[in-house]
Amino acid sequence: MIYNVCEVFYSLQGEGLLQGLPMIFIRLAGCNLMCEFCDTKYARDKGEKKDLREIIKETEKYPAKWVCITGGEPFLQKLSPLLDALKKREYNVSVETNGTIWQDIKPDWLTVSPKREGLLYFKYGYDERFLKIANEFKYVITERKDLKLIDRRIKAPIVLQPVDNNIEIAKYIVNILKKHPKENWYLRMQIHKLIDIK
């Protein structure tokens, strides 16, 4: 199986509820959305063809037992062979998607991060089949009106992430959470940017 890979690297998970875990990142190339605020625009088209064995070999260089398959948009490529190969080697696998493309896979952790651009595809910006299986939803908040994008039916934890760790947006989210507390809404900053690590 050949994948279009942007990069494989080792760091800490900087976002979401798995924040702080040492993790190997497999960043697949290509995306079906063109979000203006994207902080990995280079992953849209900067890819290199690698077969599954090469990817696994690169992954095995690092000591962590968590792997994050991200992008770009990883669901543009067939993920089950990669997921199966990683699980066979006893890795815990997380996958992050914008939620506009469906694949019936079962990672250990699934993050769905709906974007405004996804509204061109779906009413809530994501395929509703993810509603039952996502471990978390992550919304990048670029301005106040982005909070209106959040699907109120979601029962999984919802991470509110201020774009580029914008302090004014973070304070706005704090005020919203204090005025209207919800048991499954969380403010999370991007810690890898705060402490300047990749």
Domain parsing of the chain, residue ranges? 2-138
pLDDT (mean) for 35-50: 88
Number of residues that this document lists for the chain: 198
pLDDT (mean) for 21-44: 92
Selected residue with higher pLDDT from 170 and 40: 170
Cα dihedral 35→39→26→188 (10° resolution): -100
The answer to whether domain 2-138 has CATH 3.20.20.70 is yes
Nearest to 69 by CA among 35, 32, 109, 115: 109
**In the structure, what pLDDT confidence band is assigned to residue 39 with cuts at 50, 70 and 90?**
confident
In the predicted structure, residue 30 carries a pLDDT above the cut 80: yes
Average pLDDT, the chain: 95
pLDDT (mean) for 130-157: 96
- What pTM was computed for the model? 0.96
**In the structure, what pLDDT confidence band is assigned to residue 197 with cuts at 50, 70 and 90?**
confident
CA distance 55 to 85: 10
In the predicted structure, residue 87 carries a pLDDT above the cut 90: yes
Tokens at 58, concatenated: 């690169």
